[in-house]
Amino acid sequence: MENSKKKIPLILALIPFVVMIVAMTFVIIVYDGAPHIPILLGAIVAAFIAWLCGYSWSDLEHYIYQGITKVLPAVIILIFVGLIISAWVGGGIVTTMIYYGLEIITPSFFLVAMLVICAVVTLMIGSSWSTIGTIGVAGMGIGLSMGIPPAMIVGAIVSGAFFGDKMSPLSDTTVLASGIAGTTLSEHIKHMLYTTVPAFIIALIVYLVMGMKFAGNSINAQNIDAVMESLQANFVISPWLLLIPLAVIFLVFKKVPALPALTVGIILGFLAEILIQGGSIGDAVNALQEGYHIETGNDTVNDLLNQGGLESMLYTVSLAVVAMIFGGLMEGTGMLMAIVEQILKLARTARSLCATTVVSSFLTNVFTAEQYISIIIPGRMYAQSFKDKNLHPKNLSRALEDGGTITSALVPWSTDAVFVASTLGVGAVAYAPYAVLNYCVPVISIIFSLVGFSIVYRKRGTSEETNN
């Protein structure tokens, strides 16, 4: 059967993606629907083309299951994040963070504060999803109470969270990229500073300028006071409750895996809901399943707190599985490889190879909707080319993260973007223009690659070599 399989040409490999994009345009933009069916349609077209080229159904099943297997760790994290949101809202942890945030953070510096806080927290714990599901949820509450548009708030949260995810030595994508490229973790992180720090500075400046228009009279102080009074009336607000998120951060910082650390956070939040907030065991258990629900008399507070729960993540879980059905077929049948190979023909020089890798990683995100695949496939594809051009492997690892890790949240149907939309209530199309760091990094990386800045060779003596 292996000999009956034909190599799928580029023109056929592009058809499933084109079908998916056209269908998604109609379903999402015209009919305001979900992306699941367009992605499944693309997968069906990919499977049909592969069958015509000699692949059996058992082959295709294997590729589908292989793709779904890759997303299972993310699915488990999704479920636990849904649980921790409901536990922390019910336990008063989120409300405490919102309350003190409203007291401390001024509207004009709110976006800057969210960028920095989310970056620092994710640097410490290595998980952008955990940061978005906890600090991000509280940040949305604070920002909305200040009258800041939700898309701007999410843009700042995503920028900070993905900065940390990209630069943290505890992040799985950081470890994966360095391992795929064959460089050390420390070399990889140091080399990313060239592209990531300038983007972070640009984001700081942009958010500072954007925040200025929310200073002074543009904010309704009465609205903020009403939110704080409603929080006090319905919850026990105490700085001691902040020890719970600090405990989770400490555990992850001590290299406790994410799932056990999140489990501790869920248990502590559950206990706080019963012992501190006075809730019943039955209500606390139901909240973990269905999400936390409360009627405070203040619509703003209701919108902020009625969320979380395992069921709130089922939309994202189903999309992650559907996306990986498509991604698994595209990768397993070689259609993705056919597209990447054509892109590789454009990389004739060392500089263009680095830039091409950034673009390829982004396109892999678009095709497969999965951050990890955007690192693995281009990493495998281009590793030999980097060796042939005598480039240090840290150039490859940086390009993979600049084009893959950081851009995943900008692709509306990716697992990262759908997680953000499910958790914070704002879609990628709306927040992407404000996720400044996420699109500045790949742009800066491509520019630096093409001009030869920070390109490092294995041997000295070439005009393009730059010392770190």
Domain ranges of the chain: 7-70+318-451, 73-313
Distance CA 156, CA 207 (A): 8
Q: Is the pLDDT of residue 300 over 80?
A: no
Q: 174-207, pLDDT tens digit by residue?
A: 877 887 788 887 888 889 999 999 999 999 999 9
Q: 432 is written with which tokens? A: 């992407």
Instruction: State CA 298 to chain mean position distance.
Output: 31
Count CB atoms within 10 A of the CB of residue 295.
Answer: 9
Q: Which residues contact 269 (CB under 8 A, 6 or more apart)?
A: 84, 87, 88, 90, 91, 93, 244
Give the three-class secondary structure for 391: strand
Residue 91 above 50 pLDDT? yes
What is the pTM for the complete model shown? 0.70
The C-alpha atoms of residue 333 and residue 43 are separated, in whole angstroms, by 12
pLDDT at position 125 is 63
**More confident call, 86 vs 73:** 86
CA distance 301 to 454: 48
**How confident is the model over 120-130, as pLDDT tens digits?**
878 766 678 87
Tokens of 334: 């070689």
Distance CA 188, CA 151 (A): 32
pLDDT at residue number 461:
47
pLDDT over 90 percentage in the chain: 26
Listing DSSP states for 344-357 in one string gives HTT--SHHHHHHHH
Angle, to 10 degrees, between the axis of helix 258-275 and the axis of helix 243-253?
170
Expressed in percent and rounded to 5, the helix, strand and coil fractions of the chain are: 80, 0, 20
In whole angstroms, what is the distance from residue 210 CA to residue 178 CA?
Answer: 35
